[in-house]
Amino acid sequence: MIRDIILVVVAYLLGSIPFGMVVARAQGGVDLRQVGSGNIGATNVLRAVGKGAAALTLLGDIGKGAVAVALGRGLGVTPPVLAAVALAAVAGHLYPVFARFRGGKGVATTLGVILAAMPTVGALLILIWLAVAACWRYSSLAALTASVALPILAWVLDGRPAMLALSGVLLGLVVFRHRENIGRLLQGTEGKIGQRLTPSNGRMVK
């Protein structure tokens, strides 16, 4: 029991590492919380700094979720504990203790925990994200579509009750964190992949 609690805490702390803030500050001298959407994830890094910084952020955010779950699997924890570890890592990204609890939207870290917990499901989520992003160029739409597919794929390809519950909770968190994006998508004002921010006014330009 104590081991499991420690593992959950470690997962939260791993999830709390704000890779986007670190990379943006190091490569572009940018405080992500003051530009664009104010989000610390890879999409805002892409718009504010560039592709290289966004790629590093994406790898970091996916990696911290995957490492947390891999630790749990390596220790042979039960599926419910593994689900708790995965959720703690995502919660750390959403509400990071190292960034005054102002985090990202959880998509990359969600992908990381799913890749480690259910590799086939994770791989299919990547394909779904890429397909939607390629067709419509909206990162938020791609993330939402993949998140909706997550519980369905978990049910079909995995079936463990703990993983189904985890998938449902993660879907709810991603939708909640994207509520403003959903509004902009409906209004036709959502920024597309590839748009950049001008340093003078903070607005997105192509």
| Total domains, the chain | 1
Q: Note the pLDDT tens digit of each residue in 35-68.
A: 877 888 998 898 888 899 999 999 999 999 999 9
Q: Note the pLDDT tens digit of each residue in 153-170.
A: 999 999 999 999 999 999
Whole-angstrom distance, CA of residue 95 vs CA of residue 84: 16
Q: 175: closest CA among 143, 152, 151, 149?
A: 143
Domain assignment present for residue 106? The answer is: yes
Phi first, then psi, for residue 131 (nearest 5°) are -65, -45
Per the confidence metrics, is the pTM higher than 0.85?
A: yes
Domain assignment present for residue 205? The answer is: no
Buried b (16+ CB within 10 A) or exposed e, 140-157: bbbbbbbbebbbebbeee
Q: Note the pLDDT tens digit of each residue in 92-145.
A: 999 999 998 999 999 999 999 999 999 999 999 999 999 999 999 999 999 999
Domain assignment present for residue 60? The answer is: yes
Domain assignment present for residue 203? The answer is: no
Domain assignment present for residue 72? The answer is: yes
**Domain interval for residue 100:** 2-198
Longest dimension (CA), the chain: 53
Domain assignment present for residue 206? The answer is: no
Domain assignment present for residue 96? The answer is: yes
Domain assignment present for residue 109? The answer is: yes
